[in-house]
Structure 1
Amino acid sequence: MLPHLAAAVLSLTSVTAAPCLVPAADREIVFTAEGASTYGTLHVPAHRAGQRLPAALLLPGSGPTDRDGNQPHASPNTLTHVAAALGEDRVVTLRFDKYGTGRTGLGAYQDHPERLDYPAFVRQARAAYASLRDQPETDRHALTVVGHSEGALTALLLGAEVRPRGLALLQPQAIRLLDLVALQLHAQIAEAARQGQLTPEQQRAIDTAIDAAVAALREHRPVDAAGLPPAVAHLFAGFQGPNSRFVDSDDAVYPPDAAAALRPGTRVLLTCGTNDAQVPCATTDALTAALRRAQAGGPGRVRLPGVDHLLHDAGHPDTPAPAVLDALHRFAGR
C-alpha cells in the first residue's frame, strides 16, 4: 500500500470509530411504587453514546414539595438547581414527584390518604433508586443519594438499605420531627418577644403550651389549643386527624440512630447553613457525631456561611449560593 493511501485509510478509520456525542437532555420517567405510577425527570448530561455515568437520586423536602423542589405557593426550584449543578459534573440525576405532589398525586394511597405514613415515602424512594440504577446511561456502581431537608432523612434511611457509594444530606432533618417543630416555634416566639410583640409572661405561657402540644401528640391525646396563638394552633391541628399516622411515624425516627446502619466507608456530605432558621447547624451535632461513629467517609459536615434553608445567601436569593455549589462539586468529585 502506498504511504499516502495508508495514511488516508488510517484517517478514515479514526473518524468512523469516534464515538457519537449525545447532547444533554431531560426525559420523563415513570416507575411503579406500591402498584401505582410515580412520575419524574431524568437529567442526562452530554456523554458519548454507550457511556455509563455516575448517577444521583434527588429527594425533596417536607410537605407538598414536588420533583423540582417547589410547593404550590413557592418556586425556589431547589432540586432543579441541584440537578443542574451535578449535571456540570456529568452526573445523571433522577428527581420525582413524591406522594401528594405533581403528576404522582397520592398514588397507591389515593383512596386511603389516612394510611400514608413516612415509611411509604422511603419505599417510594427505594423504587426510584431502582429505576435510576436500571437506566441505560447509569453506572450502577457509582450511585449516590442526595436529599434536602426531610429528603435528607429519607436519603439516610434509604442509604442503610441500598448501600450507595455516597449520600449528600443538604440541610437535613437531623433530630426528631416534633423536636424540630418545637425548636422552630420556640425560636419564633422568642423573636416576637424580642420585638416587643409578647411580654415575658406570654412567651413563657406559649412555650409551655407548645411543649404540652408535642407531648399530647406523642401520647396520642388531643392537643389543647387554648394557650396557643391561632397560627400555631392551626399547625398542630394539621398534625392530627388524617395526617397523624405520617407525623407519628416520622417523629419515631431519631436520625443519629439511622446513621449507625450505614455501610462503613460510605461517603457522606452533610451541609448546614449558618442562616438556616428551619434547621440550625446545632441540630446536626448529634448526627455528625453518629456518622463519625459509623465510620462514614468524608467530606462530612460542611458549614455554609450565610446560607439559608433553601440553599441561598444574601447575594444569591434565587439560586444556590457559591458555597453550596462548591460543596456539591467536591462531593461529585470535580
Structure 2
Amino acid sequence: MTFTHLAAAVLSLAAATATPAEAAPGLVPAADREVVFTADGTATYGTLHVPAHRAGQRLHAALLLPGSGPTDRDGNQPPHATPNTLAQVAEALGTDRVATLRFDKYGTGKTGLGAYRDHPEALDYPAFVRQAGAAYEVLRDQPETDPHALTVVGHSEGAMTALLLGGTVHPRPAGLALLQPQAIRLLDLVARQLHAQIAEAARQGRFTPEQQRAVDAATDAAVIALREHRPVDTTGLPVAVAQLFAAFQGASSRFVDSDDAVYPPETATTLRPGTRVLLTCGTNDVQVPCATTDALTTALRRAHAGGPGRVVLPGVDHLLHDAGHPDTPAPSALAALHRFAAR
C-alpha cells in the first residue's frame, strides 16, 4: 500500500516549564512542548519531550505511534483504559537522552476527527499513515533533533504503521522499534484471537466440541465474506462475535478493509538494508502472540535489517506489563528499549 507525501506545517509551539531538578549548569533543562501540525486539513495535537541537553546539541529522536482503536498520545483510551503506555515509553527514552514526539491520532484527544468529522466512514488506514508521516516530518524539523538519527517506535497497530513509514519517509529512519506488533493481516489476527477465545470457552464447558467447530467455521467464513465484500452471515455466531463482524461492515468497513490489505512481512522488503529493528513479543500477550511475528521476523532477516531483531519477553502481556509490574513496563521490556536506544 502506498501513500502520498504530506508536507507537515507546524502551526504553533508552546514551551513548558522545565523541572528545576533537571536544570544543571551548562544544560538546557528538559521540557515538554505542545506541538500542533496539519495533516490532510486536520490540526493534530502532540507532545514533544526534549530531554536536558547542551545548547545547540542535536539529539537522537523517536516518533511514538499508538495501538489500534481510539488510543491517544499517551497510549490511553479514557476513561476506562489508561495504561499510559506511550507516556511511559517517552519517559524511558528521555532517560537515554532521546527526544520524543507523540500525538493524538484521528478520533482521540484534542485532535478528534478533524476533517472527517462529518463523514467518519471515509476515514481509512492510509489516512492514519499519512498523519504519522506528517508527525515524522515535524520531529525531523525540530531545532533540537538530529534528522539523521531518527527512529520510529510503534506499539501494536502503531508498529505496523512504523514499518510502513520505515520504507517511505525521508530521511529514512535509522531504526524501528516494533513493540508487540500487528505482524499479520488484521482479519487473520482477529480470527486467531476469536478462535483462541472460543477454545478457552470450550475448555470451560461453555461450548461443546461440535459447537466450537461450528463457531470456528462461521468465523472463518465471515473473514472470507468481508474480504470478498459480501454480507456476513452471522448465523451460529455468539452475539458478541456477530456484533463485531456487523461493526466491521458498518462505518468502520473502509478502515478494516484498508488495514487488512497490509501484510507486514511484505512491507519489510521496503526497508533500507541495515535499518536497525527491535521487535518485541511477550509470552503472555494474548492479543499478539509471539507466533504471529514469525513471518515478519523472517522477512526482516531476509531484508537485511540490522539487530537486535526479535526479543521475546517472558511473562509480558500486550501492554508491556508482567505480573510484578501491572501498571508500568516490565523490566525486560525497558531493558530491550534501552539497549535499542543505546545503539
Task: Indicate the TM-score class for this superposition, using the shorter chain for normalisation.
Answer: over 0.9
Query: In the alignment, is residue 110 of structure 1 matched against residue 109 of structure 2?
Result: no
Query: In the alignment, is residue 76 of structure 1 matched against residue 92 of structure 2?
Result: no
CA displacement, residues 77-111 of structure 1 (integer Å, 9 cap, x when unaligned): 00001000100100000000011111111122122
Q: Distance in 1 between matches of 2:246 and 2:235?
A: 12
Match of 2:60 among 54, 61, 69: 54
Moved runs in structure 1, 4+ residues, more than 2 A?
A: none
Asked if the contact 1:44–1:92 (Cα under 8 Å) also holds between the matched residues in 2, the reply is: yes
Q: Distance in 2 between matches of 1:108 and 1:124?
A: 12
Match of 2:234 among 195, 211, 225: 225
Unaligned runs of 5+ in 1: 1-17
Aligned length: 317
Query: In the alignment, is residue 98 of structure 1 matched against residue 105 of structure 2?
Result: yes
CA displacement, residues 196-215 of structure 1 (integer Å, 9 cap, x when unaligned): 11111111111111111111
Match of 2:287 among 274, 278, 302: 278
CA displacement, residues 171-196 of structure 1 (integer Å, 9 cap, x when unaligned): 00000000000000000000000111
Asked if the contact 1:172–1:271 (Cα under 8 Å) also holds between the matched residues in 2, the reply is: yes
CA displacement, residues 233-271 of structure 1 (integer Å, 9 cap, x when unaligned): 111111112111100000011100000000000000000
Asked if the contact 1:19–1:48 (Cα under 8 Å) also holds between the matched residues in 2, the reply is: no
Q: Distance in 2 between matches of 1:238 and 1:98?
A: 21
CA displacement, residues 132-189 of structure 1 (integer Å, 9 cap, x when unaligned): 0111111111000000000000000011002200000000000000000000000000
CA displacement, residues 259-304 of structure 1 (integer Å, 9 cap, x when unaligned): 0000000000000000000000000000000000100000000000
- Quote the residue 1:302 is aligned against: 311
The residue type paired with residue 328 of structure 1 is L
The residue type paired with residue 112 of structure 2 is G
Matches within 5 A, 1:166-185: 166-185=175-194
- Quote the residue 2:225 is aligned against: 216
The residue type paired with residue 323 of structure 1 is S
Q: Distance in 2 between matches of 1:177 and 1:249?
A: 9
- Quote the residue 2:27 is aligned against: 21
User: What's the Cα RMSD here?
Assistant: 1.1
Q: Which has the higher helix share?
A: 1
Match of 1:201 among 202, 210, 219: 210
The residue type paired with residue 244 of structure 1 is S
> Match of 2:307, SS?
strand
Matches within 5 A, 1:81-160: 81-160=88-167
> Match of 1:307, SS?
coil
> What's the TM-score once normalised by structure 2's chain length?
0.91
Q: Distance in 2 between matches of 1:331 and 1:234?
A: 41
Asked if the contact 1:19–1:49 (Cα under 8 Å) also holds between the matched residues in 2, the reply is: no
Q: Distance in 2 between matches of 1:166 and 1:21?
A: 27
Q: Give the Å deviation of 1:26.
A: 1.1
Query: In the alignment, is residue 265 of structure 1 matched against residue 274 of structure 2?
Result: yes
Q: Give the Å deviation of 1:19.
A: 7.4
Q: Distance in 1 between matches of 2:261 and 2:51?
A: 39
Q: Distance in 1 between matches of 2:336 and 2:116?
A: 37
Q: Which has the larger radius of gyration?
A: 1
Unaligned runs of 5+ in 2: 1-23
- Quote the residue 2:258 is aligned against: 249
> Match of 1:241, SS?
coil
> Match of 2:280, SS?
strand
> What's the TM-score once normalised by structure 1's chain length?
0.93
Q: Distance in 2 between matches of 1:105 and 1:75?
A: 18
